[in-house]
Amino acid sequence: MELVARLVVEGFITGLHKSPYHGFSVEFAEHRQYMPGDEIKHIDWKIFGRTDRYYIKQFEEETNLKAYLILDSSRSMAFKSEGNMTKLEYASFTTAALAQLMVQQRDAVGLTVYDEKVQTHMPPHATKSYLKQILKQLELIQPSNKTSTAESLHNIAERIKRRGLVIILSDLFDEPSQVMSALKHFRHKKNEVIVMQVLDPLERSFAFGRDAVFKDLETNEELTTQPWHIQKAYQESMKNFLETYKRECREHNIDYVLLDTSMPFDTALFLYLNKRMKLG
């Protein structure tokens, strides 16, 4: 997980400097340049010896932002179509890459994982040793239990004591009105919110074969049908489902993005950097 996260971020940064987004301030140092008024005892003399420049050691209280990464690990996230990773794997790697980039940006990052209830809650910190703990936790996650996104998000919102940037990665397979109520809970507490809805391409296209047996990953209920008979109606329902989230998020100043498991991770990283610039 650590290797993948680092490679994703390094590849992203390389592309960033070759793109119109080169104006982003992307720094990999754990230091900042000395400014008049800084305490001399915090100068890193080893760096001065190598560069002839004064740099101050960064401490966690100097971080720019507190970020809360919230990941849905319910069984519906275990779905995958041929040639793609599961939604949970995709969301976990995206979360790992975001955490890696955040710590390199000197932002404090935390991780919360939920299914029917909150399973893991790690409050934000900005050290590389803490990042390793987050990545290790992400490696251990397995899909389990039913989805209770709305209830879990309300619970998590109550646990956040210092406002910051909340990023939620989920397929959002719950009642939209209830989920939106939970998302507004974060906004009510003055947090900035980014919702990343993670879906498999087949969940949007419903392009299955002529006969298929569908199994609910959370209840094990099975249904035999001919997908082509209901494909058009399914696509219309899915379109309305996604449009509801997109519209409701926009109306409540929540950033919404749809992530497809067949697409690169860059979309999520760009969204974080855009939000970070606005907050800065």
Helices (H), the chain: 2-17, 45-51, 87-104, 128-140, 149-159, 176-188, 201-205, 227-251, 266-279
- Distance (Å, whole) CA 111 – CA 137: 9
Q: Is the pLDDT of residue 263 over 80?
A: yes
Determine the average pLDDT of the residues in 90-111: 92
Residue pLDDT, tens place only, 102-148 = 888 888 999 999 999 999 999 999 889 999 999 999 999 999 989 89
Q: Which domain holds residue 193?
A: 61-279
CB 97 within 8 A of CB 269: yes
32 pLDDT band, cuts 50/70/90, is low
Q: SS3 helix, strand, coil % of the chain, rounded to 5?
A: 45, 20, 30
- Residue 36 falls inside a structural domain: no
- Residue 208 falls inside a structural domain: yes
* Residue found under tokens 């989805």: 147
- Residue 221's alpha-carbon distances to 7, 216, 234, in angstroms, are 40, 5, 18
- Residue 248's alpha-carbon distances to 11, 76, 180, 245, in angstroms, are 33, 23, 7, 5
pLDDT at residue number 271: 82
pLDDT at residue number 227: 65
- Residue 219 falls inside a structural domain: yes
Q: Is the pLDDT of residue 266 over 90?
A: no
- Residue 41 falls inside a structural domain: no
- Residue 45 falls inside a structural domain: no
pLDDT at residue number 184: 97
Instruction: Report the CATH number at residue 207.
Output: 3.40.50.410
Q: Quick one: tokens of 52?
A: 């002839």
Residue pLDDT, tens place only, 78-89 = 999 989 999 999
- Distance (Å, whole) CA 201 – CA 116: 25
Number of domains in the chain: 1
pLDDT at residue number 211: 67
13 pLDDT band, cuts 50/70/90, is confident
- Residue 15 falls inside a structural domain: no
Q: Quick one: tokens of 219?
A: 């209840």
- Residue 184 falls inside a structural domain: yes
- Residue 226 falls inside a structural domain: yes
CA–chain centroid gap for 181, Å, is: 20
Q: How many C-beta atoms surround the C-beta of residue 89 within 10 A?
A: 17
CA-wise closest residue to 245 among 156, 146, 168: 168
Residue pLDDT, tens place only, 200-258 = 999 998 777 666 666 777 777 877 776 667 788 888 999 999 999 999 999 999 999 99
CB 70 within 8 A of CB 157: no
Residue pLDDT, tens place only, 169-197 = 999 999 999 999 999 999 999 999 999 99
Q: Quick one: tokens of 189?
A: 């507490």
pLDDT at residue number 277: 73
pLDDT at residue number 57: 67
pTM over 0.85: no
Q: Is the pLDDT of residue 29 over 50?
A: no
The partner residues of 121 in beta bridges, in order of sequence, read: 112
pLDDT at residue number 39: 75
The length of the chain in residues reads 280
- Distance (Å, whole) CA 190 – CA 81: 38
pLDDT at residue number 228: 66
Q: Quick one: tokens of 173?
A: 């397979």
